DNA sequence: TTGTAAGCGTTATCAT
DNA sequence: ATGATAACGCTTACAA
C-alpha cells in the first residue's frame, strides 16, 4: 500500500522536516528533537552535527505538530466587547506582552458589544487555544459555565461572578465612583445626572449603584440611558440640559468627552456652567480642555494580573482566584462649584 | 511494547476523539470525518448515527489535528507597532471581523515601536499561522524579504515597498497632507512648523515631503522632531512657540491634541492664536474643542482591503498586488486665518 | 547517550 | 457508500 502524496503543491510550501535533518545529520529523529528541545542530554558531537544540518537545511520545527504531540498550543484567546475602547486595548496590550514573555501567543476576538455572539466566539477561541481570557463578558452565567466546562482555563476580567470554577480579576469601580459623587456633592451640586453606560455590564451596575448613593445625601440624581461612546455622550447632551442639573457623572471618559463637546457646541462652559466627570482616565483625559476629573482604572495592572492568573491555571493551579484592583479618583479641572444662582 | 499513557492528567483534559465517536456509532473514523467535513456522501442512516453519537459524547473536532492533517491552520498573524494607536486598532478590528467571516482567527502582536523586534516577531507569527499582515513595518527591506521567503503570504499595510513578492495596501498621505498645508497657506500663514512623527515610518516621510512643499509657496517651514503620541505633542509646545509660527502641522491627531493641550495651558487659544492640523481623523478629533482640522485616513477600508488581498494570497493567487487608498482632508475649527499683526 | 516506534487526532487515498 | 490505514511532523517511553 502506498501512501498519498500530499502537500507538494504551491501554497504552504513544504518545509524541511525533522526527518530530513535527522537523515542529513546521520542521527535519529529523536536525537534531533532532543537537541531542539534541549530536553535530554545529547553528546556535543551529535549536537553539533544536528545543528549544522538544521542550519544548512533551514529547518525550524513545525509548531503545529509540536502542539499536537504535546497537547498544548501555547496560544491563549482573549475576547473583548470592543477593541476600539481604550479601556480594552490597554488591557490587551499588556496581556500580549506578558504572554509573549512566557512564550504564548494571543488570539484576539472582538464581540462588537454583541452579547449573543460572546459564547460562540468563546467556544471557537477555546478550540484553538489553551485558555481563554474574557474581558467584561455580559454573557449569562450558564454560558460562562459551559465555557469553563470544556476543561480549559478561563479567566474573567472586569466582571465579578461567583462561580468557583472561574477565576476573576476585577476593578472595583464602586468606591471610586462613590468618591467622585461625593466630590461633586461636596462642591455644592444638588441636582446631578448619572449617565448609564453599556447596558448589562457589571461594572456599569456598580457605578450606577455608587451614584445613587448620592440620594442619601439629599442630592437629586436623574438617571439617563446613555452608552459608552463619544457619540453617546454627545447625543444625550440635550436631555442632560433638560434636567436643569449642574453636574453630570458619565460612565466613562468617552461619554464625558462627548458631553463636553455637546455642551461646548451650545456655548456652555465646563466647569463654569456644568461639572462633568468621566471614568477610566484614558490618556486623552489629561489632554482635553478642560482636563477631566475621572477615576483611574488600572487596566495595565489588570492585564498583568489576568495573565498571572492565567499562567497559574495553565500551570495546573486550581481555579477560583478572586483579585480586586481599586480604581482611584483623579481630580482635575472639569469639576467645580456650581454657579451661585 | 506498550505505548505511553499520556494526557490523562488534569490540565488540558482529554477530549472526545473521532475514534470514540466512530466506535459509539459503529462506523469507521473515516465516516465520522466525512460527516463532519460534509466532504463526501454518507448515507443518511450512518450520518444520523454519527451525529447522535457525537452529540451524546460531546464531540468537537480537534482543530490542531485537523490543521496538521490538512496543512493549514486557518490562523493569520498581524503585527503592528503600537496597538494603543487608534490608527491601528481600527485597522485590526476590521481585519478581525473580515477574517472571522472567512473562518480565520487572528493572532495579534505589538512590536511596541521597536524596529529591532519586528523581524523576530514576524518569524514567530509565521510559524503558527498561514499568513502575516504587517502594519506599518519599519524593518529593513531585507528583513521583509526574509519573511516572505518563508513561503507564506505576507501583506504589508501602510508602507510602500517595491518588492514584487510583497503585496501592499497603503494610504496615500501625501496628497491629503499637501492639501492641508495649502489650506493653511491659503489662510494666510507664512510661518508654520511641521512636526515629525514616528521616525523611519514611510507614511511619515510622505507627510514631511508634502509639508516641505509649502516652501515653494514662500512659506517658512520649520521642522521639529516630535513623535506620534499625545505626550509628544504636549512636550514640544514650547519649541513650537519659540519659532514664532502661527500654524502647526502635526503628524497625527494625537500629537495635535497634545499641542493644543500645551497651548491651552499657556493661555493661548486655538485657532485664534495658533492654527493646528492633525492627521488620521480619529474619532476623538470631532469631539475635542476646537474640533480638529485633519485628514481622514480610511483605516477601515484599508483593513478590509488588506484582508481581501490576504484572502486572495491564501487562495493561491500571485503576490504583488499594489493598492492605494487616498486620505481626505477634513476641515474643522482648529484652523483659521492668523491674527492680523 | 542513542535509537525505535507508538501515539497525538485528524484527513484522504485506495480498495471494496 | 464504507472501511482500512498511511500520512501530517513531532514528542517521548522504553529498550539497547
Looking at every residue in chain A, the average pLDDT score rounds to 93
Strand partners, A296: A280, A328
Mutation target among B30, B271, B288, B334 for the A interface, most CBs of A within 10 A:
B288
Rounded to 5 degrees, what angle do the CA atoms A292, A295, A298 make? 125
Nearest to B91 by CA among B340, B305, B315: B305
Residue with cell 496590550: A93
- Judging by DSSP bridges, how do beta strands B294-296 and B328-330 pair with one another? antiparallel
CA distance A193 to A245: 6
List of residues 6+ apart from B141 with CB closer than 8 A: B161, B163
Q: Are the C-beta atoms of residues A121 and A111 closer than 8 Å to each other?
A: yes
Average pLDDT over residues A249-270: 97
Q: Which three cell numbers stand for residue A119?
A: 459564547
**pTM for the full model?**
0.92
* Long-range interactions of A113-119: CB distance < 8 A, separation 24+: A113/A81, A113/A82, A113/A198, A115/A139, A115/A200, A118/A79, A118/A143, A119/A143, A119/A146, A119/A147
Instruction: Tell me what pLDDT residue A8 has.
Output: 33
Q: Give the distance, in angstroms, between the CA of residue B297 and the centroid of all CA atoms in the same chain.
A: 12
Q: Are the C-beta atoms of residues B187 and B219 closer than 8 Å to each other?
A: no
Q: How many CB pairs below 8 Å do chains A and B form together?
A: 144
Residue with cell 546521520: A26
Q: Which of A11, A84, A283 sits opposite B316 (nearest CB)?
A: A11
Helix, strand, coil content of chain B in percent (nearest 5) = 45, 15, 40
pLDDT band at residue A330 using 50, 70 and 90 as cut-offs: very high
Query: Per residue in A71-103, pLDDT tens?
Result: 999 999 999 999 988 889 899 999 999 999 999
Average pLDDT over residues A236-240: 98
Instruction: Tell me what pLDDT residue B86 has.
Output: 81
Nearest to B32 by CA among B6, B2, B55: B55
Q: Which of A11, A86, A107 sits opposite B106 (nearest CB)?
A: A107
From residue A37, alpha-carbon distances to A34, A46, A96, B303 in Å are: 5, 14, 24, 38
Instruction: Verify whether the Cβ–Cβ distance A287 to B234 is below 8 Å.
Output: yes
CA distance B50 to B32: 6
Burial pattern B251-289, b for ≥16 Cβ within 10 A else e, equals: bbbbbbbbbbbbbbeeeeebbeebbbbbbbbbbbbbbbb
pLDDT band at residue A14 using 50, 70 and 90 as cut-offs: low
Q: Is the CB of B68 under 7 A from strand D?
A: yes
Report, in ranges, which bases of strand C sit under 7 Å from a protein C-beta. Answer: 1-15
pLDDT above 50 (res A3):
no
pLDDT above 90 (res A52):
yes
Q: What is the 3-state secondary structure (H, E, C) of B53-113?
A: HHHHHCCCCCHHHHHHHHCCCCEEEEEECCCCCHHHHHHHHHHHHHHHHCCCEEEEEECCC
CA distance B165 to B144: 10
Residue nearest to nucleotide C15 (CA to C1'): A1
Instruction: Tell me what pLDDT residue B85 has.
Output: 83
Instruction: Verify whether the Cβ–Cβ distance A105 to B109 is below 8 Å.
Output: yes
Q: Where does residue B73 fall: left (phi above 0), alpha (psi -120 to 50 degrees), or beta otherwise?
A: alpha
Instruction: Tell me what pLDDT residue B172 has.
Output: 95
Rounded to 5 degrees, what angle do the CA atoms B280, B239, B184 make? 45
Q: Measure, in angstroms, how far nucleotide D16 C1' is from residue A16 CA.
A: 29
Q: Give the distance, in angstroms, between the CA of residue A223 and the centroid of all CA atoms in the same chain.
A: 27
Q: Is the dihedral of CA B267, B271, B276, B282 positive or negative?
A: positive
DSSP summary character for residue B274: -
Question: Cis peptide leading into A132, omega within 30 of 0?
Answer: no
Q: Are the C-beta atoms of residues A276 and A334 closer than 8 Å to each other?
A: yes
Q: Which of residues 27-46 of B touch strand D (CB under 7 A)?
A: 27-31, 34, 40-43, 45-46
Q: Measure, in angstroms, how far nucleotide D15 C1' is from residue B17 CA.
A: 30
pLDDT above 70 (res A156):
yes
Task: Provide the residue-wise pLDDT of chain B in tens; the chain has 341 residues.
Answer: 233 333 333 334 458 999 999 999 999 999 999 999 887 788 999 999 999 999 999 999 999 999 999 999 999 999 999 998 888 989 999 999 999 999 999 999 999 989 999 999 999 999 999 999 999 999 999 999 999 999 999 999 999 999 999 999 999 999 999 999 999 999 999 999 999 999 889 999 999 999 999 999 999 999 999 999 999 999 999 999 999 999 999 999 999 999 999 999 999 999 999 999 999 999 999 999 999 999 999 999 999 999 999 999 999 999 999 999 999 999 999 999 999 86
CA distance B90 to B311: 19
CA distance B239 to B255: 14
Instruction: Tell me what pLDDT residue B3 has.
Output: 32
Amino acid at each position: 500500500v502506498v501512501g498519498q502524496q500530499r502537500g507538494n503543491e504551491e501554497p504552504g510550501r513544504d518545509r524541511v522536516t525533522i526527518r530530513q535533518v535527522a537523515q542529513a545529520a546521520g542521527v535519529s529523529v529523536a536525537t534531533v528533537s532532543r537537541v531542539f528541545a534541549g530536553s535530554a542530554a545529547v553528546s556535543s558531537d551529535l549536537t553539533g552535527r544536528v545543528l549544522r544540518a538544521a542550519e544548512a537545511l533551514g529547518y525550524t520545527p513545525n509548531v503545529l505538530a509540536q502542539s499536537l504531540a504535546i497537547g498544548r498550543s501555547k496560544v491563549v484567546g482573549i475576547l473583548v466587547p470592543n477593541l476600539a475602547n481604550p479601556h480594552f486595548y490597554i488591557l490587551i496590550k499588556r496581556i500580549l506582552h506578558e504572554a509573549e514573555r512566557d512564550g504564548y501567543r494571543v488570539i484576539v476576538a472582538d464581540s462588537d458589544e454583541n452579547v449573543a455572539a460572546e459564547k460562540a466566539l468563546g467556544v471557537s477561541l477555546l478550540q484553538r487555544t489553551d485558555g481563554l481570557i474574557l474581558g467584561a463578558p455580559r454573557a449569562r452565567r450558564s454560558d460562562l459555565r459551559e465555557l469553563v466546562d470544556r476543561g480549559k482555563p478561563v479567566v474573567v476580567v472586569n466582571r465579578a461572578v461567583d462561580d468557583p470554577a472561574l477565576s476573576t480579576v476585577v476593578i472595583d469601580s464602586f468606591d471610586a465612583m462613590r468618591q467622585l459623587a461625593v466630590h461633586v456633592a461636596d462642591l455644592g451640586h444638588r441636582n446631578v445626572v448619572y449617565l448609564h453606560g453599556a447596558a448589562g455590564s457589571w461594572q456599569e451596575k456598580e457605578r450606577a449603584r455608587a451614584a445613587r448613593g448620592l440620594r442619601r445625601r439629599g442630592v437629586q440624581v436623574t438617571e439617563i440611558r446613555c452608552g459608552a461612546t463619544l457619540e453617546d455622550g454627545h447625543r444625550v447632551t440635550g436631555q442632560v440640559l433638560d434636567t436643569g442639573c449642574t453636574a453630570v457623572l458619565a460612565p466613562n471618559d468617552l461619554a464625558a468627552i462627548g458631553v463636553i463637546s455637546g455642551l461646548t457646541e451650545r456655548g456652555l462652559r465646563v466647569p463654569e456652567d456644568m461639572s462633568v466627570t468621566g471614568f477610566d482616565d484614558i490618556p486623552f483625559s489629561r489632554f482635553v480642555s478642560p482636563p477631566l476629573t475621572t477615576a483611574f482604572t488600572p487596566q495595565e495592572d489588570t492585564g498583568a494580573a489576568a495573565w498571572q492568573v492565567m499562567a497559574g491555571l495553565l500551570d495546573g493551579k486550581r481555579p477560583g482566584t478572586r483579585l480586586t484592583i481599586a480604581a482611584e479618583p483623579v481630580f482635575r479641572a472639569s469639576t467645580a462649584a456650581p454657579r451661585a444662582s
